[in-house]
Chains A and B, each alone.
Chain A
Amino acid sequence: MRENEASELCSDGVVICVQTIEFDNEKYILAREINFKNAAYFEFRSLDLRDPKSFFATEKNGEYSPVSSGLEKKLQKYADPLERKDGGIIIREAEESGESASDPELDERLSGELNSRKAEFIKAFTERYEQVFGKYFPEKYGETVLDNETREFVPKTHKRDQARNLDHTISEIIFDSSRPENCNGQYRTGNRKIAMCDEKLCRPEQNYISETLFHEIFHADTATYTTMDGKNWQANRVGVFTASKDGEKFVGTALNEGLTEYFASKLYGVKPNTYEANVALAKAMIGAFGEETMLKACYDGGEKLEQGFNKIFGEDKYAEFMHRADACYEFCNPSRTYIMSQPRDSLGSLLTTMINERVDDIIKEAPQNYNEQLDSLREASDKISKFVEADNFQQKRVGVAAYETRDRIAKLQKMLVPAKKNDSKLSSGRLADLFNSEHRHGANEFKLTILDDVMRQNWASNFYNYHFAFKNAEYLANESDLNGVMRGAQQRIDLVIEKGCTQDDVKQLGELRKVWEEALKNSLVNDASLLPSKAKSNIKTLIAKAKMFMAQKFAKPKDAQIENEVQATNPVQSGESLGVAANADPQRGVISMKDIEQIRDTFKEIIESERLTAKKEWEAAYAALEPDDPRRVWDISGDNFALNVRNNNGTPLEDILRDPPTSRNDALGKAMQLDEFVMEKEINRMVDKRLNGFAYTTLNGYNGDHRLLDSDMGKRLQRMDLASEKAILEKQQALLETKIDIAEWCERTYGKDAVIDKHIGELEQKYDDNKKALSAIGQRQKQLSTQSLEPRAQSYAQNTAFQNISASRVNELFQSVNRQMQQGINPVQRGRAL
């Protein structure tokens, strides 16, 4: 009997096997289903799918039955029409496919040779496996697998008992695909590498114990089934390294080869020399999760990896990770030439970002087991940091981010974890240590940022924002005296934390911080000359009152070390007394809930009071305006006047612009203020948002490589980036227009002035520059949008689709369609007619 079997993977993990059987001088071809879903290994058989009309019946439990509808559907592309006979057996004579008869003598000789080689190979492979990976498999596994011989499910064993399984696996590969005379015939397996193995194995002079064979055997050893696209076999494990149910799965495919090459090379004792990008990606995963985890994932499936990942990063985060990793890996399409470090760097960066995001969540959610969770994250972060260190990452920012993340978690833990068990208070001096500790950006900035974490519970969404948060803090600290005072008051809160308080207190302090922030906003509004001078001075009074209030409330005896640290860490506050030292409150060691509520209420009262005063003054000023004064358009309704000025339409920009300047200097000041405050803030926010996308940062990291930029993904990202840049420039243009309007209005109202003229000139110059930049962006956008499109779409984008269409023809069609759409609203007519 001669056998010729082909298989195809069905979506549910069933392999359809097709056999050609010669029996009583007649050829029969049959199909059968074999469920390999839980099998530890699979069969490689000689294949021939060149005879597609060879699927007739399925075999189950030793009996043939008609093909099921699902199977029939699968087979239809090969067999059309299917023919059946009563009983469902077989059955149709195969068409002549030029098969050559086998040579029994050759078979026997080869069989003998191959058996000895097989034994030798198995010995070498298993010994190496035991040496290299044996430590990971100390015990037998409790799972069951399909035994290849008995077709029964038996307890699954691992490498301690691997030789038996391996023997079968290799025997199938070698025996069934190793007929040199037929290498180009039906016995040739689809996988090129397997075919290469065959040749080596079949030629005595070749060293058949090769890296290639190690690689393929590792595939065979780990894969649950094979897939076939009609040409190529591929060992695969669907669902292990793939996460999203739809869309492309670059990383899944990449890791399959990458991990195999990595582990097989390690077994063989050489460095990986193929699938470089895949290996880089695999190394990143190994670096993050450990070799043992990844090796076992090759055998056990991704479920355990997923569970472990989700345990550290949160529910469904593995799926998200794989999805985002796909976006990274799209840059590193293995079919292209690329820089090998890129996938590894991307993945390292992604993992770091996700750790930071998880830390954000923990800070926000404040779960009971936060410390345990932070421990896991720190462990993951440690692994990444070590990996970065050991593997000399190309992108330094990845390394910086990894170390910063590790430090961030460690310091958070240091700050949040009680000193002793059952001690819910933060120990004294712990924060002082923390603030004193060396940090990449300096202790002071780190202090501000870490306080943001705790107080505002609103850490920036990823580590890139960290730098912006820092920048903003620095900006605020230097902005004005008023803000400096506010910051100084904030220092008092710092001291409270430092002295020790419960975590509930920290939460409450977060609310107090909101009150502070509100006052801070008002101070900015008033500082921007939006209120009459008296109101402005009132706000100053408010701040002063606040300062005094807080100083009294949080006063403490002199503590030279801490006091010096606070002074040293507050550049604005340095040298300014907050009145904290001398008149110390003996109870200052603990801030109570009552204290916090009192502080908050007092602040609210002061602020409300000042708002009402300001509103009254403003109403009086409004009433005094001439009837045609443009300032008459201002809306002064509403009780919360000061808030209305700021929040009526949601953004500081609009609020400021709603109030025309009251003098020339005011106008200039307002224009400058727009430039310095609103524009900066607004545009920084947009820039921040632009940088926020991981994809962009990835692109930005690699923008020196035109091949990546030329990829479809690269073009998509460039388009996104250009759109962001365009939006920022448009925003700037709108601001410039407004500023020019203000300056011109100022000139019209108060007369010409050289300073204003110069200012207008500068603004107009900047406006023109922006206009040119916008035009360049538009052209680049158009270029990009058409470059990456299919020819079909390109013709449409470039209007070549309409090269034979005349205006009158479109008009006529337009009228015709209109007539047909007489009923109801006519959307075409409503549109922009020709």
Chain B
Amino acid sequence: MNKRLYSEVYAILEALREDFGADYVARIPADVLKFISDSRDTEYTPILDKNKGYHEQGLSDDAVAALAMLKLNYLCETDEEKAELLNLLDTNEQALNEKMKSTTSALELLRLIRRSK
């Protein structure tokens, strides 16, 4: 796995700590946090803009997916929130599949496949 991915996840977690408080991030088990911290590229520190959403920070899709995974597993506050996120991910999945079916451009298809994985 790309070390920069973990650097980005680490930066996101730091930002989450800032935005939502230390308790929020502390819901993630310590060994997972340690794994992320140990696995990251310490030379690479992504800079996040406070005035932009996470999806606008130019992070890799892998990092955002990892964030989704962490949120789903540890950070959702209620079952409803978790269901909402799952629903979103499923909807994204379906939309992507539809797009892949309908696209005729090989290049675009490759892009979509890459996005889906």
Q: Interface residues, chain A, CB within 8 Å of chain B?
A: 778, 789-796, 799-810, 812-814, 816-817, 820-821, 824-825, 827-828, 830-834
Contact = CB atoms under 8 A, between A and B. Distances in A.
27 contacts: A790-B19, A792-B19, A792-B51, A792-B57, A795-B53, A796-B54, A799-B84, A800-B53, A801-B54, A802-B55, A802-B67, A802-B71, A803-B55, A804-B55, A806-B92, A806-B93, A810-B72, A813-B62, A817-B66, A820-B35, A821-B32, A827-B31, A828-B69, A828-B73, A832-B82, A834-B69, A834-B86
Contacts of A810: 65, 68-69, 72, 89
A832 B73 contact: yes
Contacts of A832: 72-73, 82
B53 A807 contact: no
B53 A794 contact: yes
Contacts of B54: 792, 795-796, 801
Contacts of A809: 61, 65, 115-117
Binding site secondary structure of chain B = helix
A792 B61 contact: no
Contacts of A817: 1, 35, 66, 69
B19 A801 contact: no
Interface in B27-57: 29, 31-32, 35, 39, 48-57
Contacts of B49: 792
A797 to B, nearest CB: 8
Interface of B: 1, 15-16, 19-20, 29, 31-32, 35, 39, 48-57, 61-62, 64-69, 71-74, 78, 80, 82, 84-86, 88-90, 92-93, 96, 115-117
B69 A802 contact: no
A813 B89 CA distance: 13
Contact of A792 (B31, B48, B66, B85): B48
Contacts of A834: 69, 72, 86, 89
B61 A804 contact: yes
Contacts of A796: 16, 19, 53-54, 67, 71
Contacts of B48: 792
Given A792-B15, A804-B92, A821-B35, 16 more contacts: A789-B20, A792-B50, A792-B51, A792-B54, A792-B57, A794-B53, A799-B84, A801-B68, A802-B71, A805-B68, A810-B89, A813-B66, A827-B29, A827-B31, A827-B32, A831-B29
A722 to B, nearest CB: 13
Contacts of B50: 790-792
A800 B91 CA distance: 13
A795 B51 contact: no
Nearest to B64: A805
A534 B89 CA distance: 65
A754 B51 CA distance: 62
Contacts of A828: 32, 69, 73
Nearest to B59: A801
Contacts of B82: 832
A802 B32 contact: no
B32 A792 contact: no
A416 to B, nearest CB: 45
A805 B72 contact: no
* Most chain B beta-carbon neighbours within 10 Å: one of A794, A802, A803, A804: A802
Contacts of B69: 810, 813-814, 817, 828, 834
Nearest to A812: B117
